[in-house]
Amino acid sequence: MHRHGYKGRKFHREADQRRSMMKSLADSLVEHGAVETTLPKAKELRPYMEKLITKAKKADVHNRRLIIARLHTLTSAHKLVDEIAPLLKDRTSGYLRIERTRVRRGDNAQLARISFVDDISGVNDSAEAVVEEAAPKQAVKKAKA
């Protein structure tokens, strides 16, 4: 058996489960500005979201309906088209960044944080605040040890 023509990761899930997982990850990324997930999921989410952002930059009715179909909630679809896409007008591609963060304790899976490259005011601020709040707690634990 050959591997030609097989694209994408399966994540040990059926097609409808994979589709729903990508929709919910994309929805969370639009809502919060950043998501921490496993590295393979982040790598699979990047092209999914970049295609949506490119469609959102056109902002016509047809592309808006395509975006609504590929995200779970209507509010996140409108937020992507109305708030996030205008801030990314000058960039042609490469809207997202993947950073490796830590290894998950239970199964030793590599976790990664996927976020927007440009500073999107109001979107990335809340996600960075969550990361900054977690960092001092870890420093306190290390100081006690």
Q: What is the pLDDT of residues 128-144, one digit of tens each?
A: 554 455 555 555 555 55
Q: Where are the alpha helices (DSSP H) in the chain?
A: 15-32, 39-58, 61-70, 74-79, 85-87, 124-144
More confident residue, 128 or 6: 6
Q: Which domains does the chain have, with CATH numbers?
A: 15-144 (3.90.1030.10)
Backbone φ, ψ for residue 116 (5° rounding): -75, 145
Q: Cite the beta strand spans of 19-144 per DSSP E.
A: 34-38, 96-103, 110-116
Kindly report, residue by residue over 10-30, the tens digit of the pLDDT.
999 999 999 999 999 999 999
**pLDDT in the model for residue 121:** 57
- Cα(26)–Cα(67) distance, rounded to whole angstroms? 11
Q: Lowest-pLDDT range, 41-45, 59-63, 90-94, 135-139?
A: 135-139
For residues 61 and 69, what is the distance between their CA atoms, to the nearest angstrom?
12
